[in-house]
Structures are given as C-alpha cells and as structure tokens.
Amino acid sequence: MCAATCTSTENGVSEDLRDERFRQALRRIVSPGERERHGIGMQKEKTLHAVLKAYEDPDEDHHEIPIVPYIADIYDGSSITEIQTAGLDRLRDKLRAFLPAYPVTVVYPIPASKWVIWVDPATGETGKKNRSPLKGSFYTAFKELYKISGFLTDPNLTVKLILLDMEEYRLQDGWSRDGKRGSHRYDRIPLRIVDETVLSQPRDYLQFIPYELPETFTAAELARSAGCSAKGFSTAALVLYRLGVIERVGKRGRAYLYRVPEALQ
C-alpha cells in the first residue's frame, strides 16, 4: 500500500466542473432515503458502477449499447467507455474485440479512504460506520494494470484512474464467529472524487516516477520514493518496463536496476 499519491487532474476539466458533474451523477443514482426504503444494493447494477457511468456520460441513450458480440457500458457513436470496478482481466476479451475498431476508455476506480458498514444478512440492519486504516493511491492500480499490460500501448486505449472516498457495505456472512472473516462485499457508495488521472500514452506514466529518484534505481527504491511498500511493487516496475517508461541497465545483487530512457527525460 502507499502512503502518498500521484496527483493529477483530468485534461481540460476543472476540479469544480468535475466535482459538480460527480455530484449530479450521485444525486441521480442515490436519491435520499432510497436505500433505507428499498434495501442496499437491490438494483441489478452496483452503485459504484452506476454512478461512474452517469458521471462519465449522463445521456442514458448512450448506456448499455450492443456492439457485437458484447454490450458496451457507454457508446456515444464514436468511442466506447468501460467502467470496471474490479478485475481488469475480465476486460481482455472486450478489448480484443473493441480496440481494432473503436477508441476505448477504461475507467478504474480506486478507494482513497473507505468507511466499512456491516450488514446483517438476515435482517438487513446496518451497524455503525468504521473507517478503514488502508489508504489507496494511483499506484494501487498497477496490480490490475498488469493484467491488461499487453493492451496499454494500443493507441486506441485510454485508462482513466479515479481516486474516490467511499462507503463499503459488507454482509456479515463470513466463517468467523463475528461473521467478518470471509465476508462478501455487498455494495460500494462513492462519496467524492479525490483525484483522477488519464493515461493515453506511455509518456503519461512518467508521473509515477518520483523526481527525487537517483538516475538508476531498483523497484524497491522506486516504491520507497513513491511512499509505498516494496512488497509486490515489482509488478508496477514491470508494467512501466513493458511500456518503455523505464529500462533495465543491469543488476544490483538480485534486483534489476532501472532508469528512465534518455528519450523520455
């Protein structure tokens, strides 16, 4: 996990406009009292997915459009947007089908701060809200980006990462005595956008290379400089390497040494 985040904003969109657009989408999907009256997550589409779809394109005529052999989350007549709230590997088949013919934007949300609310699976009653100690950042996405790394250099693909504060409702249906271990996530309610960044070409990934790094560095040093745990961070380095954002220039012990290619400096 990371203690710090990269900071970016969507190209050409002010934070005020972005935030107002998000508030409108949230009001549209989550009306006051609706969940108390009808139960959390009763709709077929989970709340986080529905809010982000309305945020990306409020025109419902553009939603759920058949593009053989799949259904696109959003198709505006020229480009496709896919909202993927978990498991980017699930998009591989769609990307293979869509990318040769259409510009595709993959929207991936990341919890920045999260509050967990437990739900009794028998009664539907909810407990008090507890803040999770875990913090997310744009670096959190690399574990998922690795799963579609073969598509990231496609000129028709754009990845949009959105950092969000959110509430997470979990069913207290796990195997432990308190029902929490092994429990299932029921729904997530986004509260506000913290930040977002758009990745359209390999050069855009330079934002993940902190300026204070030495000329050559290991994946562990990159992790520390980014404020992240070194555990598992080799995945981020591998994605950046495959994109050509960093190159290997030798080894230090068993660890690869990397640097940013001169052409990108």
Residues 231 and 152 occupy one common structural domain: no
The total of other beta-carbon atoms located within 10 Å of residue 179's CB is 16
Residue among 126, 101, 103, 105 nearest 116 (CA): 126
Does 230 share its domain with 125? Answer: no
In a domain, residue 2? The reply is: no
Residues 250 and 194 in one domain: no
- Cβ of 69: how many Cβ atoms within 10 Å? 8
Residues 21 and 64 in one domain: yes
The pLDDT of residue 180 is 75
Residues 130 and 183 in one domain: yes
pLDDT digits (tens, 9 = 90+) for 178-192: 767 877 888 899 999
d(CA 204, CA 6): 12
- 35: pLDDT strictly greater than 60: no
Look up residue 213 and give its DSSP letter: S
Domain span holding position 177: 15-200
Does the pLDDT of residue 40 top 70, yes or no?
no
Contact yes or no for 115/132 (Cβ under 8 A):
yes
In sequence order, what DSSP letters do the residues of 23-50 get, joined into one string? HHHHHHHS-TTHHHHH-TT-SSS-HHHH
- On whether both 235 and 180 belong to a single domain, the answer is no
CATH number at residue 243: 1.10.10.10
Residue 3: pLDDT band with limits 50, 70, 90: very low
Indicate whether 30 and 81 sit together in one domain.
Answer: yes
Look at residue 1 in the predicted model and tell me its pLDDT.
42
Residues 172 and 218 in one domain: no
Q: Are 106 and 194 contained in the same domain?
A: yes
Does residue 47 surpass a pLDDT of 80?
yes
**What average pLDDT does range 240-256 have in this prediction?**
94
Total domains, the chain: 2
Q: How confident is the model at residue 164 (pLDDT cuts 50, 70, 90)?
A: very high
